[in-house]
Structure 1
Amino acid sequence: MTLTPPQIENLYTFTRQHYVEYYDLQTELVDHLANDIEFIWQAQTKLSFEEARDKAFKKFGVFGFMEVLERRQKAMNKRYFKYLWTELKQWFTFPELITTMALFFAIYLGLSTIFAKSLLIGLFVIICVFAIYKSIQLKQQFKQRKALSNKKWMLEDIIFKQAGGSAMLLLSQLPQWYNFSGNIFDNLYIVFSVSIFSTLFCLWMYISFEIIPNKAEKLLNETYPEFCL
Protein backbone atom coordinates (compact mmCIF):
# COMPACT_ATOMS: atom_id res chain seq x y z
CA MET A 1 0.00 0.00 0.00
CA THR A 2 1.01 3.59 -0.63
CA LEU A 3 0.48 6.33 1.93
CA THR A 4 -2.22 8.91 1.22
CA PRO A 5 -1.63 12.70 1.43
CA PRO A 6 -3.50 12.90 4.79
CA GLN A 7 -1.27 10.13 6.16
CA ILE A 8 1.84 11.96 4.95
CA GLU A 9 0.59 15.10 6.68
CA ASN A 10 0.00 13.02 9.81
CA LEU A 11 3.67 12.00 9.73
CA TYR A 12 4.73 15.65 9.56
CA THR A 13 2.55 16.36 12.59
CA PHE A 14 4.01 13.30 14.29
CA THR A 15 7.59 14.57 13.85
CA ARG A 16 6.62 17.98 15.24
CA GLN A 17 5.02 16.32 18.25
CA HIS A 18 8.38 14.63 18.86
CA TYR A 19 10.25 17.96 18.97
CA VAL A 20 11.50 18.13 15.38
CA GLU A 21 10.79 21.74 14.39
CA TYR A 22 12.92 22.01 11.25
CA TYR A 23 11.10 21.32 7.99
CA ASP A 24 14.18 19.89 6.24
CA LEU A 25 14.65 17.27 8.95
CA GLN A 26 10.91 16.64 9.15
CA THR A 27 10.88 15.85 5.42
CA GLU A 28 13.80 13.44 5.77
CA LEU A 29 12.14 11.64 8.69
CA VAL A 30 8.73 11.53 6.99
CA ASP A 31 10.32 9.92 3.93
CA HIS A 32 12.08 7.38 6.14
CA LEU A 33 8.94 6.60 8.14
CA ALA A 34 6.81 6.32 5.00
CA ASN A 35 9.19 3.79 3.46
CA ASP A 36 9.25 1.77 6.69
CA ILE A 37 5.46 1.82 7.01
CA GLU A 38 5.00 0.58 3.44
CA PHE A 39 7.57 -2.16 4.08
CA ILE A 40 5.79 -3.18 7.31
CA TRP A 41 2.45 -3.32 5.50
CA GLN A 42 3.87 -5.77 2.99
CA ALA A 43 4.39 -8.29 5.80
CA GLN A 44 1.50 -7.25 8.07
CA THR A 45 -1.35 -6.06 5.87
CA LYS A 46 -3.89 -5.87 8.70
CA LEU A 47 -2.01 -3.26 10.73
CA SER A 48 -3.60 0.18 10.87
CA PHE A 49 -1.63 3.23 9.77
CA GLU A 50 -1.08 4.33 13.38
CA GLU A 51 0.15 0.88 14.42
CA ALA A 52 2.55 0.67 11.49
CA ARG A 53 3.74 4.23 12.18
CA ASP A 54 4.43 3.50 15.85
CA LYS A 55 6.25 0.31 14.92
CA ALA A 56 8.43 2.22 12.45
CA PHE A 57 9.11 4.87 15.10
CA LYS A 58 10.38 2.25 17.57
CA LYS A 59 13.33 1.63 15.25
CA PHE A 60 14.69 5.03 16.30
CA GLY A 61 15.26 3.70 19.82
CA VAL A 62 14.65 5.13 23.27
CA PHE A 63 15.56 8.70 22.35
CA GLY A 64 13.38 8.78 19.25
CA PHE A 65 14.42 11.44 16.75
CA MET A 66 16.89 13.15 19.10
CA GLU A 67 19.97 11.33 17.81
CA VAL A 68 19.02 12.11 14.21
CA LEU A 69 18.47 15.75 15.20
CA GLU A 70 21.89 15.97 16.88
CA ARG A 71 23.63 14.47 13.85
CA ARG A 72 21.91 16.92 11.53
CA GLN A 73 22.81 19.86 13.78
CA LYS A 74 26.47 18.82 13.76
CA ALA A 75 26.41 18.49 9.98
CA MET A 76 24.78 21.90 9.51
CA ASN A 77 27.15 23.59 11.98
CA LYS A 78 30.04 22.08 10.04
CA ARG A 79 28.56 23.43 6.81
CA TYR A 80 28.10 26.87 8.39
CA PHE A 81 31.70 27.06 9.59
CA LYS A 82 32.84 25.92 6.16
CA TYR A 83 31.05 28.98 4.75
CA LEU A 84 32.76 31.15 7.38
CA TRP A 85 36.17 29.74 6.51
CA THR A 86 35.58 30.17 2.76
CA GLU A 87 34.61 33.81 3.24
CA LEU A 88 37.53 34.46 5.60
CA LYS A 89 40.03 33.17 3.03
CA GLN A 90 38.67 35.71 0.55
CA TRP A 91 40.00 38.48 2.79
CA PHE A 92 43.54 37.23 2.19
CA THR A 93 43.31 37.55 -1.59
CA PHE A 94 43.21 40.73 -3.66
CA PRO A 95 41.51 43.15 -3.50
CA GLU A 96 40.18 42.32 0.01
CA LEU A 97 43.77 41.74 1.21
CA ILE A 98 44.36 45.50 1.03
CA THR A 99 41.56 46.10 3.56
CA THR A 100 42.85 43.29 5.79
CA MET A 101 46.38 44.70 5.81
CA ALA A 102 45.10 48.23 6.45
CA LEU A 103 43.06 46.99 9.42
CA PHE A 104 46.02 45.04 10.80
CA PHE A 105 48.48 47.94 10.53
CA ALA A 106 45.96 50.39 12.02
CA ILE A 107 45.56 48.14 15.06
CA TYR A 108 49.30 47.40 15.24
CA LEU A 109 50.28 51.07 15.11
CA GLY A 110 47.62 51.95 17.67
CA LEU A 111 48.87 49.28 20.08
CA SER A 112 52.43 50.55 19.61
CA THR A 113 51.54 53.89 21.22
CA ILE A 114 51.14 54.87 24.86
CA PHE A 115 47.38 54.73 24.32
CA ALA A 116 47.43 50.99 23.55
CA LYS A 117 45.20 49.90 26.41
CA SER A 118 42.66 52.67 25.76
CA LEU A 119 42.60 51.77 22.06
CA LEU A 120 41.98 48.11 22.84
CA ILE A 121 39.13 49.03 25.19
CA GLY A 122 37.70 51.34 22.52
CA LEU A 123 37.88 48.55 19.94
CA PHE A 124 36.12 46.23 22.35
CA VAL A 125 33.31 48.75 22.90
CA ILE A 126 32.86 49.26 19.14
CA ILE A 127 32.69 45.50 18.57
CA CYS A 128 30.15 45.12 21.39
CA VAL A 129 27.91 47.86 19.98
CA PHE A 130 28.18 46.36 16.48
CA ALA A 131 27.39 42.85 17.77
CA ILE A 132 24.36 43.99 19.77
CA TYR A 133 23.00 46.12 16.91
CA LYS A 134 23.45 43.36 14.31
CA SER A 135 22.00 40.71 16.64
CA ILE A 136 18.81 42.77 17.02
CA GLN A 137 18.70 43.45 13.28
CA LEU A 138 19.15 39.77 12.36
CA LYS A 139 16.50 38.76 14.88
CA GLN A 140 14.05 41.16 13.24
CA GLN A 141 14.97 39.89 9.77
CA PHE A 142 14.45 36.31 10.92
CA LYS A 143 10.99 37.19 12.27
CA GLN A 144 10.09 38.81 8.95
CA ARG A 145 11.23 35.73 7.06
CA LYS A 146 9.18 33.52 9.37
CA ALA A 147 6.11 35.68 8.75
CA LEU A 148 6.38 34.86 5.04
CA SER A 149 6.70 31.12 5.58
CA ASN A 150 5.60 28.69 8.27
CA LYS A 151 8.57 26.44 7.54
CA LYS A 152 11.69 26.48 9.68
CA TRP A 153 15.01 25.46 8.12
CA MET A 154 17.97 24.43 10.26
CA LEU A 155 20.65 26.24 8.25
CA GLU A 156 18.55 29.41 8.18
CA ASP A 157 18.21 29.23 11.96
CA ILE A 158 21.98 28.88 12.34
CA ILE A 159 22.75 31.76 9.97
CA PHE A 160 20.45 34.22 11.74
CA LYS A 161 20.93 33.11 15.34
CA GLN A 162 24.31 31.46 15.84
CA ALA A 163 26.31 34.54 14.88
CA GLY A 164 24.88 36.47 17.82
CA GLY A 165 25.22 33.63 20.30
CA SER A 166 28.79 32.75 19.34
CA ALA A 167 29.89 36.38 19.26
CA MET A 168 28.44 37.14 22.69
CA LEU A 169 30.14 34.08 24.15
CA LEU A 170 33.50 35.14 22.76
CA LEU A 171 32.99 38.78 23.67
CA SER A 172 32.32 37.77 27.27
CA GLN A 173 35.89 36.46 27.41
CA LEU A 174 37.54 39.52 25.90
CA PRO A 175 37.60 41.69 29.08
CA GLN A 176 40.36 39.39 30.33
CA TRP A 177 42.57 40.98 27.69
CA TYR A 178 42.34 44.27 29.54
CA ASN A 179 43.83 42.98 32.76
CA PHE A 180 47.24 43.35 31.17
CA SER A 181 49.82 45.39 33.04
CA GLY A 182 50.50 48.82 31.61
CA ASN A 183 53.90 47.96 30.10
CA ILE A 184 52.94 44.66 28.45
CA PHE A 185 52.55 46.43 25.10
CA ASP A 186 56.24 47.27 25.18
CA ASN A 187 56.75 43.70 23.97
CA LEU A 188 56.55 43.71 20.16
CA TYR A 189 55.58 40.03 20.08
CA ILE A 190 52.58 40.77 22.29
CA VAL A 191 51.59 43.73 20.13
CA PHE A 192 51.95 41.64 16.96
CA SER A 193 49.94 38.72 18.39
CA VAL A 194 47.12 40.91 19.73
CA SER A 195 46.99 42.75 16.39
CA ILE A 196 46.60 39.48 14.48
CA PHE A 197 43.91 38.23 16.86
CA SER A 198 42.01 41.53 16.75
CA THR A 199 42.15 41.64 12.94
CA LEU A 200 40.89 38.07 12.57
CA PHE A 201 38.18 38.67 15.16
CA CYS A 202 36.94 41.81 13.39
CA LEU A 203 36.82 39.93 10.07
CA TRP A 204 35.00 36.98 11.66
CA MET A 205 32.41 39.30 13.20
CA TYR A 206 31.83 41.12 9.92
CA ILE A 207 31.50 37.87 7.96
CA SER A 208 29.12 36.20 10.42
CA PHE A 209 26.95 39.28 10.99
CA GLU A 210 26.96 40.88 7.55
CA ILE A 211 28.26 38.78 4.65
CA ILE A 212 26.72 35.37 5.34
CA PRO A 213 23.25 36.68 6.30
CA ASN A 214 23.24 38.71 3.07
CA LYS A 215 23.98 35.49 1.17
CA ALA A 216 21.39 33.49 3.10
CA GLU A 217 19.03 33.07 0.15
CA LYS A 218 21.79 31.71 -2.09
CA LEU A 219 23.15 29.35 0.58
CA LEU A 220 19.70 28.04 1.46
CA ASN A 221 18.83 27.41 -2.18
CA GLU A 222 22.09 25.48 -2.59
CA THR A 223 21.42 23.39 0.51
CA TYR A 224 17.68 22.89 0.02
CA PRO A 225 16.55 22.69 -3.63
CA GLU A 226 12.95 22.74 -2.37
CA PHE A 227 13.55 26.02 -0.47
CA CYS A 228 12.75 28.18 -3.51
CA LEU A 229 9.59 26.23 -4.35
Structure 2
Amino acid sequence: MNLSTDQITTLKKLISFKGYEEIDVQYEILDHVACRIEVLMDENPKLTLDEAFRKAHSEFGIFGFADLADSYRESIRKKFWSRYWASLRSFLTSYRVVYLFLLGWTFHWMSQNFTLFGEKVTAPGWGVIGLMVAVVFFFIYYHRIGKNFKGYATFKHGLSFFTGFQLILQVSVHGTKYLIGEEIPTTLSFQGVMAWITISAMSIVWISMFLLPRVIQEAVDETQKLKAIYEA
Protein backbone atom coordinates (compact mmCIF):
# COMPACT_ATOMS: atom_id res chain seq x y z
CA MET A 1 0.00 0.00 0.00
CA ASN A 2 1.00 3.64 -0.41
CA LEU A 3 0.54 6.04 2.47
CA SER A 4 -1.84 8.92 1.88
CA THR A 5 -0.97 12.58 2.43
CA ASP A 6 -3.01 12.58 5.65
CA GLN A 7 -1.18 9.50 6.92
CA ILE A 8 2.21 11.08 6.17
CA THR A 9 1.12 14.22 8.04
CA THR A 10 0.09 12.04 10.98
CA LEU A 11 3.46 10.26 10.92
CA LYS A 12 5.24 13.62 11.02
CA LYS A 13 3.25 14.52 14.14
CA LEU A 14 4.06 11.17 15.75
CA ILE A 15 7.76 11.70 15.02
CA SER A 16 7.51 15.19 16.50
CA PHE A 17 5.89 13.76 19.65
CA LYS A 18 9.01 11.60 20.04
CA GLY A 19 11.00 14.81 20.50
CA TYR A 20 12.22 15.43 16.95
CA GLU A 21 10.95 18.92 16.19
CA GLU A 22 13.37 19.94 13.43
CA ILE A 23 11.55 19.70 10.12
CA ASP A 24 14.34 18.16 8.05
CA VAL A 25 15.09 15.63 10.81
CA GLN A 26 11.42 14.60 10.73
CA TYR A 27 11.60 13.99 6.98
CA GLU A 28 14.90 12.14 7.28
CA ILE A 29 13.28 9.78 9.81
CA LEU A 30 10.11 9.62 7.72
CA ASP A 31 12.11 8.46 4.69
CA HIS A 32 13.32 5.46 6.68
CA VAL A 33 10.06 4.74 8.51
CA ALA A 34 7.37 5.20 5.85
CA CYS A 35 8.45 2.26 3.69
CA ARG A 36 8.63 -0.02 6.71
CA ILE A 37 5.16 1.03 7.85
CA GLU A 38 3.76 0.33 4.38
CA VAL A 39 5.21 -3.20 4.56
CA LEU A 40 3.84 -3.79 8.06
CA MET A 41 0.34 -2.64 7.07
CA ASP A 42 0.45 -4.79 3.93
CA GLU A 43 1.39 -7.82 6.02
CA ASN A 44 -1.31 -7.09 8.59
CA PRO A 45 -4.15 -4.92 7.22
CA LYS A 46 -5.72 -4.80 10.69
CA LEU A 47 -2.84 -2.71 12.03
CA THR A 48 -3.67 0.93 12.64
CA LEU A 49 -1.19 3.58 11.58
CA ASP A 50 -0.30 4.29 15.21
CA GLU A 51 0.34 0.59 15.91
CA ALA A 52 2.47 0.24 12.79
CA PHE A 53 4.44 3.33 13.78
CA ARG A 54 5.12 2.00 17.29
CA LYS A 55 6.21 -1.34 15.86
CA ALA A 56 8.54 0.33 13.35
CA HIS A 57 9.93 2.54 16.12
CA SER A 58 10.70 -0.50 18.29
CA GLU A 59 12.65 -2.07 15.43
CA PHE A 60 15.18 0.76 15.64
CA GLY A 61 16.30 -0.55 19.02
CA ILE A 62 16.34 0.82 22.54
CA PHE A 63 17.21 4.36 21.43
CA GLY A 64 14.52 4.49 18.75
CA PHE A 65 15.21 7.15 16.13
CA ALA A 66 17.96 8.83 18.19
CA ASP A 67 20.87 7.22 16.33
CA LEU A 68 19.35 8.12 12.97
CA ALA A 69 18.72 11.74 13.99
CA ASP A 70 22.18 12.11 15.57
CA SER A 71 23.84 10.67 12.47
CA TYR A 72 21.98 13.18 10.28
CA ARG A 73 22.95 16.13 12.49
CA GLU A 74 26.57 15.00 12.68
CA SER A 75 26.75 14.76 8.88
CA ILE A 76 25.57 18.39 8.72
CA ARG A 77 28.22 19.53 11.20
CA LYS A 78 31.01 17.73 9.33
CA LYS A 79 29.87 19.12 5.99
CA PHE A 80 29.85 22.73 7.17
CA TRP A 81 33.11 22.45 9.11
CA SER A 82 34.62 21.19 5.86
CA ARG A 83 33.20 24.22 4.06
CA TYR A 84 34.59 26.55 6.72
CA TRP A 85 38.13 25.19 6.32
CA ALA A 86 37.80 25.32 2.53
CA SER A 87 36.71 28.97 2.79
CA LEU A 88 39.66 29.68 5.09
CA ARG A 89 42.16 28.20 2.62
CA SER A 90 40.55 30.13 -0.21
CA PHE A 91 40.69 33.39 1.77
CA LEU A 92 44.33 33.04 2.81
CA THR A 93 45.43 32.33 -0.76
CA SER A 94 43.41 35.10 -2.43
CA TYR A 95 43.74 38.87 -2.75
CA ARG A 96 41.21 39.26 0.08
CA VAL A 97 43.95 38.62 2.64
CA VAL A 98 44.99 42.22 1.90
CA TYR A 99 41.93 43.30 3.91
CA LEU A 100 43.60 41.98 7.06
CA PHE A 101 46.70 44.08 6.42
CA LEU A 102 44.54 47.15 5.79
CA LEU A 103 42.75 46.53 9.09
CA GLY A 104 46.08 46.15 10.86
CA TRP A 105 47.34 49.42 9.38
CA THR A 106 44.10 51.18 10.40
CA PHE A 107 44.37 50.00 14.00
CA HIS A 108 48.06 50.98 14.12
CA TRP A 109 47.14 54.47 12.87
CA MET A 110 44.42 54.74 15.53
CA SER A 111 46.86 53.69 18.25
CA GLN A 112 49.13 56.56 17.22
CA ASN A 113 46.43 59.23 16.96
CA PHE A 114 43.64 58.38 19.41
CA THR A 115 43.16 57.55 23.08
CA LEU A 116 40.34 55.74 24.87
CA PHE A 117 39.08 57.77 27.84
CA GLY A 118 42.52 59.34 28.08
CA GLU A 119 44.34 55.99 27.92
CA LYS A 120 46.68 54.97 25.12
CA VAL A 121 45.56 51.74 23.45
CA THR A 122 47.76 49.45 21.37
CA ALA A 123 46.86 48.55 17.78
CA PRO A 124 45.58 45.07 18.84
CA GLY A 125 43.54 46.79 21.56
CA TRP A 126 41.78 48.90 18.93
CA GLY A 127 41.38 45.69 16.92
CA VAL A 128 39.41 44.09 19.76
CA ILE A 129 37.27 47.21 20.21
CA GLY A 130 36.52 47.32 16.48
CA LEU A 131 35.73 43.61 16.60
CA MET A 132 33.13 44.11 19.34
CA VAL A 133 31.33 46.66 17.16
CA ALA A 134 31.52 44.41 14.09
CA VAL A 135 30.20 41.40 16.02
CA VAL A 136 27.08 43.31 17.11
CA PHE A 137 26.19 43.99 13.47
CA PHE A 138 27.11 40.42 12.54
CA PHE A 139 24.73 38.86 15.07
CA ILE A 140 21.93 41.19 13.97
CA TYR A 141 22.52 39.95 10.42
CA TYR A 142 22.66 36.31 11.56
CA HIS A 143 19.38 36.45 13.49
CA ARG A 144 17.63 38.36 10.71
CA ILE A 145 18.70 35.75 8.16
CA GLY A 146 18.05 32.75 10.40
CA LYS A 147 14.60 33.58 11.77
CA ASN A 148 12.90 31.79 8.86
CA PHE A 149 15.01 28.64 9.28
CA LYS A 150 15.14 28.11 13.04
CA GLY A 151 13.08 24.92 12.66
CA TYR A 152 15.69 23.26 10.43
CA ALA A 153 18.66 21.23 11.66
CA THR A 154 20.54 22.08 8.46
CA PHE A 155 20.72 25.73 9.52
CA LYS A 156 21.19 25.24 13.27
CA HIS A 157 23.74 22.43 13.21
CA GLY A 158 25.42 23.68 10.06
CA LEU A 159 26.54 26.67 12.12
CA SER A 160 27.47 24.71 15.24
CA PHE A 161 30.98 26.17 15.11
CA PHE A 162 29.45 29.34 16.61
CA THR A 163 30.07 27.76 20.01
CA GLY A 164 33.82 27.90 19.44
CA PHE A 165 33.49 31.32 17.80
CA GLN A 166 31.78 32.74 20.89
CA LEU A 167 34.42 31.26 23.22
CA ILE A 168 37.28 32.81 21.25
CA LEU A 169 35.38 36.10 21.12
CA GLN A 170 35.06 36.12 24.91
CA VAL A 171 38.81 35.56 25.24
CA SER A 172 39.36 38.56 22.96
CA VAL A 173 37.00 40.82 24.89
CA HIS A 174 38.22 39.87 28.37
CA GLY A 175 41.84 40.17 27.25
CA THR A 176 41.46 43.80 26.14
CA LYS A 177 42.74 44.98 29.54
CA TYR A 178 46.14 43.48 28.70
CA LEU A 179 46.36 45.64 25.58
CA ILE A 180 45.81 49.00 27.27
CA GLY A 181 48.96 51.09 27.23
CA GLU A 182 51.50 52.39 24.77
CA GLU A 183 53.19 49.06 24.04
CA ILE A 184 52.29 45.39 23.85
CA PRO A 185 53.86 43.45 26.77
CA THR A 186 56.71 41.31 25.42
CA THR A 187 58.15 39.91 28.63
CA LEU A 188 57.60 36.29 29.64
CA SER A 189 55.03 37.19 32.29
CA PHE A 190 51.36 36.49 32.91
CA GLN A 191 50.39 39.82 31.34
CA GLY A 192 52.63 39.22 28.33
CA VAL A 193 51.27 35.71 27.73
CA MET A 194 47.66 36.88 28.09
CA ALA A 195 48.29 39.77 25.71
CA TRP A 196 49.49 37.43 22.96
CA ILE A 197 46.68 34.96 23.62
CA THR A 198 44.26 37.87 23.20
CA ILE A 199 45.95 38.97 19.97
CA SER A 200 45.77 35.41 18.60
CA ALA A 201 42.09 35.05 19.54
CA MET A 202 41.29 38.45 18.05
CA SER A 203 43.03 37.51 14.78
CA ILE A 204 41.05 34.26 14.52
CA VAL A 205 37.75 36.08 15.05
CA TRP A 206 38.58 38.81 12.51
CA ILE A 207 39.43 36.16 9.90
CA SER A 208 36.18 34.35 10.73
CA MET A 209 34.26 37.59 10.25
CA PHE A 210 35.36 37.55 6.61
CA LEU A 211 34.35 33.90 6.18
CA LEU A 212 31.11 33.46 8.13
CA PRO A 213 28.75 35.48 5.88
CA ARG A 214 29.57 33.14 3.00
CA VAL A 215 29.19 30.00 5.15
CA ILE A 216 25.89 31.30 6.56
CA GLN A 217 24.63 32.00 3.05
CA GLU A 218 25.48 28.42 2.04
CA ALA A 219 23.51 27.14 5.04
CA VAL A 220 20.60 29.40 4.04
CA ASP A 221 20.68 28.20 0.43
CA GLU A 222 20.74 24.54 1.40
CA THR A 223 17.99 24.97 3.98
CA GLN A 224 15.90 26.94 1.49
CA LYS A 225 16.11 24.03 -0.96
CA LEU A 226 14.95 21.59 1.72
CA LYS A 227 12.16 23.94 2.75
CA ALA A 228 10.92 24.22 -0.84
CA ILE A 229 10.92 20.42 -1.21
CA TYR A 230 9.13 19.73 2.07
CA GLU A 231 6.55 22.49 1.70
CA ALA A 232 5.72 21.23 -1.79
User: Is 1:80 equivalent to 2:80 in the alignment?
Assistant: yes
1:158-177 to 2 correspondence within 5 Å? Answer: 158=157, 162=160, 165-175=163-173, 177=175
Aligned residue identity for 1:27:
Y
- Kindly provide the CA deviation profile for residues 37-78 of structure 1, in whole angstroms up to 9, marking residues without a partner as x: 122234333322221111001123333333322222221111
CA distance in 1, matches of 2:60, 2:71: 13
Give the CA deviation at 1:134: 1.8
Give the CA deviation at 1:169: 2.5
8 A Cα contact 2:110 2:126, kept in partner: no
Aligned residue identity for 1:132:
V
User: In the alignment, what sits opposite 2:114?
Assistant: none
1:115-134 to 2 correspondence within 5 Å? Answer: 118-134=122-138
Change over 3 Å in CA distance of 1:50–1:37 after alignment to 2: same
CA distance in 2, matches of 1:163, 1:126: 22
Structure 2 residue runs without a partner (length 5+): 112-118, 188-192
Give the CA deviation at 1:194: 6.8
1:147-186 to 2 correspondence within 5 Å? Answer: 152-158=151-157, 162=160, 165-175=163-173, 177-178=175-176, 185-186=185-186
Give the TM-score normalised by the residue count of structure 2: 0.72
User: In the alignment, what sits opposite 1:212?
Assistant: 215
Aligned residue identity for 1:155:
T
Change over 3 Å in CA distance of 1:78–1:21 after alignment to 2: same
Deviates more, 1:56-65 or 1:46-55: 56-65
Give the CA deviation at 1:215: 4.0
Identity among equivalent pairs (%): 18
User: In the alignment, what sits opposite 1:62?
Assistant: 62
Give the CA deviation at 1:179: 6.7
Which residue of the other structure, out of 134, 139, 142, is the alignment partner of 2:143? Answer: 139
Aligned residue identity for 1:211:
R
8 A Cα contact 2:37 2:56, kept in partner: yes
Change over 3 Å in CA distance of 1:172–1:78 after alignment to 2: same
Change over 3 Å in CA distance of 1:36–1:119 after alignment to 2: same
CA distance in 2, matches of 1:123, 1:100: 11
Give the TM-score normalised by the residue count of structure 1: 0.73
Change over 3 Å in CA distance of 1:101–1:196 after alignment to 2: farther
8 A Cα contact 2:91 2:97, kept in partner: yes
User: Is 1:202 equivalent to 2:206 in the alignment?
Assistant: yes
Deviates more, 1:58-67 or 1:73-82: 58-67
Give the CA deviation at 1:14: 1.0
Structure 1 residue runs without a partner (length 5+): none
CA distance in 2, matches of 1:123, 1:17: 48
What SS is found at the alignment partner of 1:172? helix
Give the CA deviation at 1:5: 1.8
Q: Once superposed, what is the RMSD of the aligned Cα atoms?
A: 3.9
8 A Cα contact 1:121 1:178, kept in partner: yes
Aligned residue identity for 1:171:
L
Give the CA deviation at 1:193: 8.2
1:91-130 to 2 correspondence within 5 Å? Answer: 91-103=91-103, 118-130=122-134
CA distance in 2, matches of 1:99, 1:105: 10
CA distance in 2, matches of 1:37, 1:6: 14
CA distance in 2, matches of 1:223, 1:50: 27
